[in-house]
Amino acid sequence: MSGEESLYQALSAYSESDFYPCHMPGHKRSPLSGEMADFYRIDITEISGFDNLHQAEGVLWEAQKRANRLYGTDETFFLVNGSTCGVLAAVMAAAKPGDEILLARNCHKSVYHAAILQGLQVRYYRPEMIQAYDIFDGIRPKEIARLLDQFPCCRAVVITSPTYEGIISDVAEIAAVVHERGKILIVDEAHGAHLGICGAETEKDKGLDIESKRGADERRADLIIHSLHKTLPSMTQTALLHVNGDRVDRVKLHKYLSMFQSSSPSYVLMASMDSCVRFLEKYGRERFASMGQHYKAFCKKTENLNHIRIGKMTELSENCALADWDIGKIVISVKGTNITGKELSDILREQYHLELEMAAQTYALSMMTLMDEEKGWQRLADALVEIDGRIEKKQTQSVEKNAVFCEMKLSMSEAFHSPREEIPVKNASGRVSADFVMPYPPGIPLVVPGEQINEEAVREIENYLDTGLYVQGVSSEGRIGVVVEIP
């Protein structure tokens, strides 16, 4: 494969050659292998000339190097098991068994899973809520500094930026306070693989050359995880892990990656990552510029809505902690109206054939990327204008929503490995959870193993269920797992 030839082209050419596969996979690239045979054409294993992801030194090394150049980090790894395996490897390479670690409490479940697997002692940063939209705010660098001074044994800090709803924290400032204290910063940027490259715009930086700003932010974190599949043209499960500097033991990181990545990484997925990087090099700038234009037109069309509100920085109080907001995450708030976010999302699906990314109690989330054309943005804006004309203000006043946090009674690993019983949610107040309870998406635990479930948490879980939202960790009979109490 030459530098010019993509992995996909090399695989296609190979599939047309006269090499006969006396090896895995079992479909043998045969056109007779069922209705998905077309997909198997470029699905090979580690054969001569096609390198090995676990010890890349040929075509896969080159493809990863290409991605690395695009992001400007020190080293980049392809991930075929999603950001999930990048998060697991990053956290476990940064903290040894039994170490302390500081987590933003709104991290994705994969971060908690790493803490359980490594038996970590967890300290929390509890983000505030942006009351206007009932979503988590950004992370305050000063508060991270204060917590690290209070818990100096923490080896690493893990934050999510941007959040599922697109809230971006001041990563450069957070990196500064973390590094001043000799700690490792892991940024779960699963939702931000598009930020800081090819002139992608954010709300605050619209119209400015943001590449230098965001690039600098990113370079300062030690480990960064990107889901290519979430916001860029790449197949589901594809992701990247970036490393900077020498605070993280790279030998250990490699070892963890080889534990969490399949020993048979899919060439279809790897070709997709290579293709995504090449696409961005060629068309990224032009497409992100169009996305900025589509976003502006969308904002113009929806600026006079009476009830529905589109999440924007300009609508927020100065006291909010966020540094920026991703324009690809359209938070559609129906707070204070007579419908819920779930109902809005149902209307958009059933009446307008617009399938949203997620729905919560007071908002729904539409994800837009550089691959959305004007038509998609317009359909969404037109539907919202129509729906806005049909809904009303709620009669009763909306209550302020605060994040629900429960007190930690046992370490996560201890609770996870304790004897458990299943009890109805309504009886769970006061009991120590043996499980994660989380509305999905976004997969941020409301309760983690070891936390004592309080009344607010019970009410919140019941609210989610009543709204028709899916809550992982609650059975279809409405039961959750708690640690058996020893009399």
Cβ proximity to ligand PLP: between 119 and 443 the closer is 443
Query: Least Å distance between CB 138 and ligand PLP?
Result: 14
Cβ proximity to ligand PLP: between 46 and 217 the closer is 217
Cβ proximity to ligand PLP: between 120 and 381 the closer is 120
- Which whole-number Å values give the CA distances from 127 to 320, 360, 368, in the listed order? 11, 18, 25
Query: Least Å distance between CB 136 and ligand PLP?
Result: 11
Query: Least Å distance between CB 35 and ligand PLP?
Result: 26
Cβ proximity to ligand PLP: between 21 and 443 the closer is 443
Cβ proximity to ligand PLP: between 144 and 190 the closer is 190
Cβ proximity to ligand PLP: between 387 and 438 the closer is 438
Query: Least Å distance between CB 26 and ligand PLP?
Result: 26
The residue number with the shortest CB distance to ligand PLP is 82
Query: Least Å distance between CB 86 and ligand PLP?
Result: 8
Give the footprint of ligand PLP on this chain (CB under 6 A): 82-84, 87, 108, 110, 160, 164, 188, 190-191, 227, 239, 442-443
31: number of Cβ within 10 Å: 10
Cβ proximity to ligand PLP: between 391 and 471 the closer is 471
| Distance (Å, whole) CA 97 – CA 182 | 19
Cβ proximity to ligand PLP: between 165 and 205 the closer is 165
Query: Least Å distance between CB 456 and ligand PLP?
Result: 24
Query: Least Å distance between CB 168 and ligand PLP?
Result: 13
Query: Least Å distance between CB 101 and ligand PLP?
Result: 16
Cβ proximity to ligand PLP: between 188 and 217 the closer is 188
- The residue among 452, 456, 455, 474 whose CA lies nearest residue 465 is 474
Lookup result for tokens 């983690």: 448
Query: Least Å distance between CB 259 and ligand PLP?
Result: 16
